[in-house]
A and B are shown apart, each in its own frame.
Chain A
Amino acid sequence: MTDLLRPRAMGRSPRRVEGPAKVTGTAPYASDQPVHDPVHAWLVQAEVARGVVTSVDTGRALAEEGVLTVLTPDNAPRLASTEDAELAALQSHDVDFRGQVLAVVVARTPETARHAASLVRVVVEQRPHDVRLSGDRADLYAPEQVNGGFETDTAEGDLAAGLAQAAHVVDRTYTTAWYNNNPLEPHATTAVWSDENLLLYDSTQGVHTTREAVAETFGLSPERVHVISPHVGGGFGAKGTAHVHAILAAMAARALPDVPVKLALTRQQMYSLVGYRTPTIQRVRLGGSADGRLTALAVDAIGQTSRFKEFAEQTAVPARTMYAAPHRRTTHRLAALDVPVPAWMRAPGECPGMFGPEVAMDELAIACGLDPVEFRVRNEPEVEPESGKPFSSRNLVACLREGARRFGWSHRDPTPGARQESGWRVGTGVAASTYPVNRSPGSEANIRFTAPGRYRVEIGAADIGTGTWTSLAQIAADALGVDHGDVELRIGDTRLPKASVAGGSSGITSWGSTVVAAARAFREKFGDRPDDGDETCVAMPESSASDDYAMHAFGAQFAEVRVHVDTGEVRVPRLLGVFAVGRVVNPRLARSQLVGGMTMGLSMALHEHSLLDERFGHVVNHDLAEYHIATNSDVPDVEAHWIEEHDPHTNPMGTKGIGEIGIVGTAAAIVNAAHHATGIRVRDLPLTLDHFVR
């Protein structure tokens, strides 16, 4: 058990400290950083999904006034490491996916660079490509492990027997679509290379992560790479690992020593260069006894990866945690395709992986004649089903009950299609949410006292819009026993002590634990009356809690859905979530994370859908006019609440991570509500009107 911090600043809701800078446009984002006389890079991308570059003619581009250089697979310098194939920019003549970068043009203005890029003639000998994901491909394979380091397959008991015993069986296939991360701020890097030192202003979820990737790729020692990223306009995972544009910016900067090179991706380019969420095909089998207890539970998940680099979404992993069942199995299979490499998108694994199972739970509840809240309560496990570990805390039932109370669930007539109001069929639905408590190793924090009474807390953490600037300072204040205002936090720079990536909702757990350890060490060393300049730097302490406990956040989401009788239009007038996420450091910021996650879940349920054109091999609705994300009018009323939860095991703050759980389960709750409204069961997202119009 950890020594829990006494909350004074934690639990309050100070506003974002960087808010005024952001709303007045003075907060420097990666592409806004003032650099002297920058030049601009523009990318040339492959227009076929597979092939070999046979020639590149840069003559016309170079002849344009203002063009400084054009890098191609023919002339690009060799990189020290091509281990990460995604970062092996211009190292080979092979084309592995449509949109792959085949050249980069650097010019004095972005307009010139863009025009010159259109003049580069790349001849590609096209090869047949294969981008079609389907469940019946003969070449589906089992990856060694899946994202997060989880086992690919698990099994317990005898699934066939469990299903045979069941009074009711659900055996259905559910699909989630291809989704693209669309943070408001497109990826951007400004690079300056001087004297074998590389400075990068990058939009990243982790300055040190970017530094490591770039240093390794160029064979530099990490100290020579300086990454600065004070503000990030969203990432949702797409800025959690370095992508090829950062390498290209650095490569261009190396070709033009001492000259700042700016490379900002367009929205369209993001659809092939910064990762995305794989589409998934999930076969879910559930067996239920006559009294509504699961006898069997199986999730077989299929996703895609690129052929040149593997990414295996851990879609079936949440099923290992959620419900008790004696006979069970989970599997993951992948199709390796000529597509860009998928990557993290808010709650990889949990987000798609709680869609199929939570809809199937609704289907089985109905088959068993049970209320879906009650049905879930009945299948609460005593310990984590597959690991057998006790939960450090698990309050799914409390969330379901509190959510049902707040939502007015008890008045619900379970009959599908029973309610109609002025031309709209009305229904309600529920689904559960879960997200693991992740802790990433490797952070360090430095605390320095400056008289008369300020504490400078330094850690290379990231604020990707989540509120780190504010909440991490609150934690530091409580750890030091001082006011929030006496803490001067510094983050977003590799000159600061090393920090782990803002990913897996692990930021506050990891950086917070580190800051608390540093504060405790500081007080131990210097007492309550330190001298000017006293400082101490410590690394994140080890924790064995995860050996002994299963640590997860839980939640329950309730949706009201209206489906228009004539048009089939689907609206979600009300969405309510109740979460058990440990201690909430800053309620204002936490609510914004949870409401944001739920909104993104609603958007996934109703709208989002990257349209792959199999003939060409790329996503053709690659902009925000055509890739629909929920608008304000789609989201009239989203409420997020949490229950008091004290978990002494997760970390000294007692927190669990709130950045991702909000998106988990939302789509299932909405699909379940749509079924209640209409009697039509949709198993393939998105829930567009064509499912309902008759």
Chain B
Amino acid sequence: MIPFDYRRAADVEGAVAEAARTGAAFLAGGTNLVDRMKLGVSAPEVLVDINRLPLDGVEELPGGGLRVGATVRNSDLAAHPVVRRDYPLLSRALLSGASGQLRTLATTGGNLLQRTRCLYFQDTSTPCNKREPGSGCSAIDGHNRQHAILGASEHCVAVHPSDMAVAMAALDATVLVHGPGGPRTVPLTDLHRLPGDEPHRDTVLSAADLITAVDLPPLPRGTRSLYRKVRDRASYAFALVSVALVLHVDDDVVRDVRIALGGVAHKPWRARRAEGVLRGRPVSADVFLEAAEAELADARPLSGNAFKVPLARNVIVSALRDLAWEER
């Protein structure tokens, strides 16, 4: 068989050192990594199991907010009382992903670093720049219904599949990383990259960087939030378009707004242009539409996903509408 080594890490430093020395891959829930190994998409020589590391806690932070450990299971995080109370959109996003069985295994860190579901990325008999740099992108002229409309490049048009990450992007979360050089933090919205001419690099992390936790800042009082996912079946499908929205309206004026889109780009897409249009403006259907259209002005749909542009527009507008005019 294809040989690989398996090591169980005793502590964070040890895990990082092992990965730095051997080029190991971290094994968390394994729901993505093991699949890829079976498909021949990934062939790590060493697996460092991080499941026993003390990273499975959810703690309230002194100044408000929440620290979510990297190995907290998606199902536990979704059900956590503080998450349900203070970050219901995150709970929603988690529960809209995958299936019950998968969520029970899937972890916070693994969910962030799961790789694209592009059909060609997962099929080693076809060219793919992300899997094999320089081999070509099969999706650009192939089946690309699921693919990007924003921020793609001629080298890769894949999307990041996570729902959880989209909610976290709208929450302005921070990722805690422990690398060979010690601990550091990365804003969640800077964690994932756009493909550019290096589509094989999904994120700014290096192979030996271990995610230890994600910090969620507190939401100001009076903000409302939602996560809405549109997909090809009612459950157990990746997003065609999803939206995470955090909105603070006072006196019918948008005081604060954060919008993140899923299913449209190589990363959870913060809709900063739309946010810019909205901030300080009175709530109205016209303003919402203007914001959505501003965000999508640069959308470049592919042969099979032109529908995503009006879909994303409608989803943004209806999410804003529903939150802005929701009964208090």
Which residues in A have some Cβ–Cβ distance to B below 8 Å?
A: 47, 109, 111-112, 114-115, 118, 423, 566-569, 571, 606-607, 611, 613, 615-616, 618, 620-622, 625-626, 628, 630-634, 688-690, 693-694
Contact = CB atoms under 8 A, between A and B. Distances in A.
Interface string B17-52: 000000000000000000000001000000000000
A613 B234 contact: no
Contacts of B138: 613, 615-616
B294 interface: no
B234 A689 contact: no
A631 B235 contact: yes
Contacts of B234: 571, 631, 633-634
Contact of B117 (A613, A616, A625, A634): A625
B315 A615 contact: no
A631 B233 contact: yes
B120 interface: yes
A186 to B, nearest CB: 14
A433 B318 CA distance: 39
Contacts of B142: 613, 615, 620
Interface stretch (B5-13, B176-184, B306-314): B306-314
B327 interface: no
Query: Is the contact region of chain B dominated by helix, strand, or loop, or is it mixed?
Result: loop
B119 A690 contact: no
Contact of B233 (A567, A607, A611, A622): A607
A611 B2 CA distance: 30
A569 B138 CA distance: 28
A336 B143 CA distance: 23
Given A567-B230, A634-B235, 18 more contacts: A109-B1, A115-B2, A566-B314, A567-B314, A567-B315, A567-B318, A568-B307, A568-B311, A571-B234, A613-B142, A615-B142, A620-B120, A620-B126, A628-B233, A630-B233, A632-B235, A690-B307, A693-B311
Contact of B311 (A114, A616, A689): A689
Contacts of B314: 566-567, 693
A47 B311 contact: no
A620 B123 contact: yes
B93 to A, nearest CB: 17
Contacts of B307: 568, 689-690, 693
A628 B318 CA distance: 27
Interface residues of B, number: 28
A633 B1 contact: no
B96 to A, nearest CB: 11
Interface in B93-152: 117, 119-120, 123, 125-126, 138, 141-143
Nearest to B240: A689
A39 B237 CA distance: 37
Given A567-B315, A628-B237, A615 B232 contact: no
A562 B236 CA distance: 19
A3 to B, nearest CB: 49
A616 B233 contact: no
A57 to B, nearest CB: 18
B119 A620 contact: yes
Contacts of B230: 567, 569, 689
A64 to B, nearest CB: 9
20 contacts: A114-B1, A423-B318, A571-B234, A615-B142, A616-B126, A620-B123, A620-B142, A621-B143, A622-B123, A628-B232, A628-B233, A631-B233, A631-B234, A631-B236, A634-B235, A689-B307, A689-B311, A690-B307, A690-B311, A694-B310
A633 B235 contact: yes
Nearest to A423: B318
Contacts of B120: 620
Contacts of A634: 233-235
Contacts of B233: 606-607, 628, 630-631, 633-634
